[in-house]
Amino acid sequence: MKLQFYNTLTSVKEAFEPEDKNKVKIYSCGPTVYNYPHIGNLRSFMFVDTLRRTLKLLGYGLNQTMNITDIDDKIIRDSITENTTVEKFTQKWIDIFFEDLQTLKIEKVENYPRATETIPDMLRMIETLENNQLTYQKDGNIYFSIGKFHEYGSLSKLDVTGIKSGARYDADEYEKDDVRDFALWKSPKQEDEKAWESKFGKGRPGWHLECSAMIRKIYQSGIDIHTGGIDLIFPHHENEIAQSRGAYPQDHFVKYWLHCEHLLVEGQKMSKSLGNFYTLRDVIAQGYDPLSIRYLLLSFHYRTKLNFSFSRLEESKKAIAKLQNTLDRVLELTNFQVEKGLPKGYAREGYNKFLEGLCDDLNVPKSLGEIFEFIKKVNNSLDSKSLSEGELLDITSYFHNVNSLLQVLSFEKSLLDSEIEALIDKRNQARKDKNFKLSDEIRDDLLKKGIKLEDSKTGVKWKRI
Ligand code: AMP
Ligand code: ZN
């Protein structure tokens, strides 16, 4: 099966040929940690998860990196308002970012470098760019001179012929019709602003520099895949190319550029500045299961816009229930035995069709369509009681493998209320006998099956979580 990706650089789907199949090098632009991520941000991280889990399913080994921007204009502004240090301010938001990833079952990648830990590497890069005569100083800042870098505009297909030489920007973010030289190093604007000493004077890096410096630090030369939201193509990724290729013209930088479309609300991009956003916590507080959110974000192709709505979350919940229902019917018959290898017989063709969708530029909707076709077939076979033990086990392996991507299915037997109560009685007896090892085991086993026990003065209470 041939894996292909749509490459923003060439505007076509290309066969994926990494340098080393056992160590695919992927860099993904990560969060700026100054607030709760909204579910639009989380869509771009879910896309990274889809890419990661697909490559793993197809047998690739990975070395993936996501940066954490823990210094920028907004972080400085908000930490000063809160009268706290940049470190304390960002740590809180970093913790929340990882909690949200866990809630959505987004797998951790190998490296999460922070901008503030990469300052020496960024300074070295500025020096190299200076040696290559691509920079200039103005008012204590160092700028990249885009007019001197001939590849500028190649990713975003900008026509740079009419640009004003020497027009520049200090701000980290700006619009596409405002092509200007961008800051590599910025002198402090206020006295209490976080800044580092350097040979270029006291200051801090421009936002674009960290990604170029981290890729150089972690991977030495180039990488296979670079990802980000579509809004990052310009200026951020264009500037990354300028910095990395400008500093090391002999090395390739990125082979495949993959960009994820936006999550919209009523037709507009979900964004903090427009105020039309929901955090993950907002949506969960309204009674929605995080897995419905995961499924919704996963179920639209990453290169299509997705209009967020609560009715779509309801549909996702129903879709998960439909899959789980068929899986439960099968598990009842295998006595909850699950085969973890690849499907070999009954489910092999269906599984290959599922993979074909993913291989076609991560076409998850196509793969999900194949899953629903497959469960229709399984339900019919279950209705006619025509499945052998081997076929049933093959179906469990199908579900096990597709769930490595989906992460929304449960393979545990759900306990009846009477079974839970019997286990609580057994635990109470164990506690009376001072057999705390057994009582803890029972509590932990129940928790794994989604039952939480709460000891209170009036006895043990339980709830399904
Ligand atoms: P930030 O934390 O603002 O640096 O953004 C983190 C990631 O979220 C970036 O890759 C953005 O491109 C992406 N992003 C921001 N808004 C949206 C949105 N509405 N839909 C999808 N991705 C988004
Ligand atoms: Zn970046």
DSSP reduced 3-state for 289: coil
As beta bridge partners, residue 24 has 62
Ligand 1 pocket mutation pick from 78, 231, 261, 266 by most atoms within 8 angstroms of CB: 231
Which of ligand 1's atoms lies nearest the C-alpha of 41?
8
CA-nearest of 173, 194, 202 to 79 is: 194
Residue 291 Cα, ligand 1 centroid: separation in angstroms?
20
Residue 200 Cα, ligand 2 centroid: separation in angstroms?
23
Q: Which ligand is nearest to the CA of 29?
A: 2
Boundaries of every domain in the chain: 4-260, 265-406, 417-464
Which of ligand 1's atoms lies nearest the C-alpha of 227?
10
Which of ligand 1's atoms lies nearest the C-alpha of 228?
10
Phi/psi at 162 (5° precision): -95, 10
Which of ligand 1's atoms lies nearest the C-alpha of 69?
4
Residue 166 Cα, ligand 2 centroid: separation in angstroms?
24
Parallel/antiparallel/unpaired status of strands 24-28 and 62-66: parallel
> How does pLDDT run across 49-105, given as a tens digit for each residue?
999 999 999 999 999 999 999 999 899 999 999 999 999 999 999 999 999 999 999
CA-nearest of 317, 338, 464 to 401 is: 338
Q: Which fold has domain 4-260?
A: Rossmann fold (3.40.50)
Residue 407 Cα, ligand 1 centroid: separation in angstroms?
23
Ligand 1 pocket mutation pick from 27, 33, 44 by most atoms within 8 angstroms of CB: 44
For atom 18 of ligand 1, the residue with the nearest CA is 40
Q: Which ligand is nearest to the CA of 305?
A: 1
Give me the pLDDT at residue 321, please.
95
DSSP reduced 3-state for 112: coil
As beta bridge partners, residue 227 has 28, 258
Residue 39 Cα, ligand 1 centroid: separation in angstroms?
9
In b/e form, how buried is each residue of 243-279, taking b as 16+ CB within 10 angstroms?
bbbbbbeeeebbbbbbbbbbbbbeeebbbbeeebbbb
Which of ligand 1's atoms lies nearest the C-alpha of 31?
2
Give me the pLDDT at residue 165, please.
63
Residues of the chain with pLDDT under 70: 162-166, 173-178
Q: Which ligand is nearest to the CA of 67?
A: 2
Give me the pLDDT at residue 176, please.
60
Residue 218 Cα, ligand 2 centroid: separation in angstroms?
14
Residue 40 Cα, ligand 1 centroid: separation in angstroms?
6
Q: State the Cα–Cα distance between residues 263 and 320, nearest whole angstrom.
A: 21
DSSP designation for 138: E
Ligand 1-lining residues (CB < 6 angstroms): 29, 31-32, 40-41, 43-44, 228-229, 231-232, 260, 262-263, 269-271
Q: Which ligand is nearest to the CA of 210?
A: 2
DSSP designation for 189: S
Residue 229 Cα, ligand 1 centroid: separation in angstroms?
6
Give me the pLDDT at residue 178, please.
66
Q: Which fold has domain 265-406?
A: Isoleucyl-tRNA Synthetase; Domain 1 (1.10.730)
CA-nearest of 78, 97, 100, 99 to 89 is: 78
Spatial neighbors of 268 by CB under 8 A, at least 6 apart, are 274, 276
Residue 254 Cα, ligand 2 centroid: separation in angstroms?
12
Both tokens of 270, joined, read 């979900």
Q: Which ligand is nearest to the CA of 259?
A: 1
pTM of the model: 0.91
Classify residue 290 by burial, with Cβ atoms within 10 Å: 0-12, 13-18, 19+.
middle
> How does pLDDT run across 346-371, given as a tens digit for each residue?
999 999 999 999 999 999 999 999 99
Which of ligand 1's atoms lies nearest the C-alpha of 231?
12
